[in-house]
A and B are shown apart, each in its own frame.
Chain A
């Protein structure tokens, strides 16, 4: 939990700095983020490669784990259906938002295209929040819902942004599952978002 609070404080500090423009206006964080992410992935790769046992551990993992992406999709839809009665948007529209699986840039853009800026912004915010929730609560998820749960929560982000926290909390032996799941979820986003927006 202490780790999550530290992470949250870094996010909050950035949010405030951005909000009040306490940084040079010419600053663009997108490029810097990309370089930091590359450095991070290199470090994560290094720690995986540094322990050859990691690859051996994957062989011990059950073949049912291959169903994790499907499990994530079904679980997400059930969750969204449960709360769908509270909102004026149709069930299909809400499922389209849920089908971002944390991939906020793509789902936000697609849904803005198909359904307008309002639902697009909801998709952007909801999927940013999903990513942040995964980053913040991954340690608690592992304790309460098992070692696959941060990978399910991370959805389409588990091969990049949430990958490092998953490796830290679930363990290095889950790194291959995390990439496998993130890869399939990534591909499912444009298809499912388009499907639900056309209903």
Chain B
């Protein structure tokens, strides 16, 4: 985890050093790397026999919990965001 963060900090320093130059490739690169990671996550899940076998029986319960947890957190975030916006006025 800290190695991953270290890469980002090296990137920030590198980006800062090259700030006077126009560099446009990074947004396309970021998107491409996100696609590769999602592909690899799919591969990992698909190759995990234990998860695949139980997916049908446990998947529904997991899906409902995932949606409820995610929805609860974004609604809470909307309330916080709203209170911040109000306070700024």
- What 0/1 readout, one digit per residue, does chain A (25-46) give for beta carbons within 8 Å of chain B? 0000110111011111111111
Residues of A contacting B: mostly: helix
- Which size bracket describes the interface of B in this complex? 35 or more
Q: Please give, as numbers and ranges, the residues of chain A lying within 8 Å of B54 by CB-CB distance.
A: 118, 121
Q: How far is A186 from B44 in the complex, measured between Cα atoms in Å?
A: 22
Count of chain A residues with a beta carbon within 8 Å of a chain B beta carbon:
95
Chain A residues whose CB sits within 8 angstroms of the CB of B16 once the complex forms: 49-50, 52
Q: Is B11 a contact partner of A121 (Cβ separation < 8 A)?
A: no
What is the CB-to-nearest-CB distance from A31 to chain B, in angstroms, rounded to a whole number? Answer: 10
A19 adjacent to chain B (CB < 8 Å): yes
| A111 CA / B70 CA spacing, docked (Å) | 19
Is A17's CB within 8 Å of the partner chain B? Answer: yes
Interface contact A151-B63, CB-CB below 8 Å: no
Q: Does any Cβ of B come within 8 Å of A197's Cβ?
A: no
Contact between B15 and A50, CB atoms less than 8 A apart: yes
Instruction: List the interface of chain A (C-beta within 8 A of B).
Output: 6-7, 10-21, 23, 29-30, 32-34, 36-52, 62, 64-65, 67-68, 71-72, 74-80, 82-83, 86-87, 89, 94, 97-98, 101, 118, 121-130, 132-135, 141, 144-153, 155, 159-161, 164-165, 168, 179, 186
